[in-house]
Amino acid sequence: MITSVLVANRGEIACRVFRTCGELGIRTVAVYSDADENALHTRVADEAVRLPGAAPSDTYLRGDLIVKAALSAGADAVHPGYGFLSENAGFARAVLDAGLVWIGPPPEAIEAMASKTRAKKLMGLEPLETVTAADLPVLVKAAAGGGGRGMRVVRELDAIDAELTAARAEALSAFGDGEVFVEPYVEGGRHVEVQILADAHGTVWALGTRDCSLQRRHQKVIEEAPAPGLGDLTETLYDLSVRAARAVDYVGAGTVEFLVADGKAHFLEMNTRLQVEHPVTEAVFGIDLVALQIQVAEGAALANDPPRARGHAIEARLYAEDPARSWAPQTGTLHRLAVTEGVRLDTGYTDGDPIGVHYDPMLAKAIAYAPSRAEALRKLSGALERADIHGPATNRDLLVRSLRHPEFAEARMDTGFYERHLAALTTPAPDPYAPLAAALADARGHARSRFGGWRNLPSQPQIKRYDLAGTEHEVRYQHTRAGLTADGVRVVHADARLVVLEVDGVQRKFEVTRYGEQVFVNATALTALPRFPDPTAQQAPGSLLAPMPGTVVRVAEGLTTGAAVRAGEPLLWLEAMKMEHKISAPTAGTLTALHATPGQQVEVGTLLAVVETTPVSTAPR
């Protein structure tokens, strides 16, 4: 029997595996990079072993160091989680060669399926060797790994070489393998997958379907089980998935992914690991997939028939990112993260933890289960809307609006959902009374006497300024004998944490929390602005500032000071949170300064380049 498990991963999935191990009485061992020394997964494990460095290539992708850590900590098994080395056959062999139990499929099965090119050949499919105009659009994909990294949709033939280069670089950074391939891109399809679980005795379970069509950058955002509206196609998907598992003598948990379009299933890949979205399957089947993984690794046999599915579950991934700004990742302190009871929250963070630049920006997964899809939708959207999420910008509003969008609510979504609706879903809709509530709470918090700060003599209104969704708001209020007053609104109650306003005869409650200049009023984030702005803080027109902390990975070929650039022309690329981010010219003009160099580490607001707006030729350099 397994008595001690090292999780070769970090964050949410490490915490998830540790939770089940604790319930089973199994000792837990974490590995951590320098950036994760105080991370939640490091703190909750029984023991932890340092992997020197911060970059994944120096830490979580170093199989030799992880095996050494397992042996030194006395672990007798290794769980790979997802991402990093979870689909690396060489790592699986190294674990087994060290005399440890591998909580995953046989290395031969990983080898056959972890490379998407080999998996497609196994299923009778071939990637495109050359690309012509008639093949467009096409999809460039990393052969190893997943999570949308190393993936690009190409719609123009002259862009193929640049996208191949970018995909290889991103795949190499994320998975240590730069192999990519090209396949036809199916427009308007749904991303549907089947969870499988197989033992070493020949039993293979098909544990229902999941729909994962809502994606950004080809990475899933909202997932649900079962996939709605498949009808008779469900059995076809089960049969194909079991066939794929048996073809490689699969053992353990895995997922077979398809693109469903026009009533047909197109095989995409088989992921030989636990998926991020596995909790929705656990919810509808009433099982613990991690516990079953451990039992299978110990040699236990599955029952002949899988359990029956009941109800519906939906998962939303909460990211520290700004969907309105090309999904730019955000960093800073996560002051508070809490959702209502009755909704499962899987996370690798707790209140006060820093969100760094080195890893994926996913903060948590919120999972709601209910007897019907409509009830699960309402439960999850309501929980997210009311959740306390205090810290950097997140995609919370996008998630709530997505769950309530008619196309999703009626199960008419496909993988192009965000291409069609992103602008509308990210249009700011801030609460107009949030700045007033923030100002009144601040006034009460700073009251200098037990009389609440009122004066005998008439006084000028107090003025406070806030940035709300990029727009400056000025708030005026007064201290009077009757308390705090504001034009057009009756102040029913105001203290440092709670403000109650009567608006058009309806009382509205505002919970206010402040961290320095950052203020959260219910689900609205504001920034308190100084009374007198600093005139030295202005940047020269045309300044390109780093939108996030990261590393400059490359500068456009031939780009030099004095060059004419077109509006939207890519100038350089930053890598942050395992993704590449393109920095483009904001307008046509002349590059008058270039401060960025490959390999340079930059912080938010670092001046990268300056483009002076001038009439220039639109011809390419």
Instruction: Kindly report, residue by residue over 121-155, the tens digit of the pLDDT.
Output: 777 777 777 888 878 888 888 877 666 677 888 99
Q: Residue 474's beta-bridge partner residues?
A: 465
Residue 317 has pLDDT above 80, yes or no: yes
Residue 62 has pLDDT above 90, yes or no: yes
Cite the active site residues.
273
280-294, 375-389, 574-588: least confidently modelled range: 574-588
Q: Coil, strand or helix: which one is 472?
A: strand
At residue 614, the pLDDT reads: 67
Residue 357 carries which DSSP code?
S
Residue with tokens 């964050």: 11
Instruction: Pick the closest to residue 266 from 180, 193, 182 (CA basis).
Output: 193
Q: Which long-range contacts (CB under 8 A, 24 or more apart) does 28-31 make?
A: 28/4, 29/4, 29/5, 29/69, 29/70, 29/73, 29/75, 30/6, 31/6, 31/7, 31/59, 31/60, 31/65, 31/66, 31/69
Give the pLDDT mean for 324-351: 95
pLDDT digits (tens, 9 = 90+) for 458-507: 557 889 999 998 899 999 998 887 778 887 799 999 999 999 999 999 99
147-151, 160-164, 377-381, 405-409: least confidently modelled range: 147-151
User: Which domains, from first to last, does the chain contain?
Assistant: 4-103 (3.40.50.20), 114-184 (3.30.1490.20), 311-427 (3.30.470.20), 434-528 (3.30.700.40), 539-613 (2.40.50.100)
At residue 537, the pLDDT reads: 54
For residue 555, how many other CB atoms are within 10 A of its CB?
Answer: 20
Residue 450 has pLDDT above 90, yes or no: no
Give the pLDDT mean for 70-87: 97
What is the C-alpha to C-alpha distance for residues 40 and 506, in angstroms, rounded to an integer? 42
- Percentage of the residues of the chain whose pLDDT score is greater than 70: 94
As a dihedral over the C-alpha atoms of residue 375, residue 379, residue 382, residue 386, rounded to 10 degrees, the angle is: 170
- Chain centroid, CA 73 distance in Å: 31
- Establish whether the linkage from the previous residue to 226 is cis, with ω within 30° of 0: yes
Q: Which long-range contacts (CB under 8 A, 24 or more apart) does 377-380 make?
A: 377/314, 377/403, 377/404, 377/408, 377/409, 379/342, 379/343, 380/314, 380/316, 380/343
Secondary element (H or E) of residue 589: strand 589-594
Residue 489 carries which DSSP code?
B
At residue 542, the pLDDT reads: 84
At residue 193, the pLDDT reads: 98
Describe the chain by its helix, strand, coil percentages, rounded to 5.
25, 35, 40
Residue 330 has pLDDT above 80, yes or no: yes
Pairing status of strand 471-480 against strand 332-334: unpaired
Contact indicator for 166, 573 with CB cutoff of 8 Å: yes
Contact indicator for 205, 213 with CB cutoff of 8 Å: no
If you average pLDDT over every residue of the chain, what do you get? 91
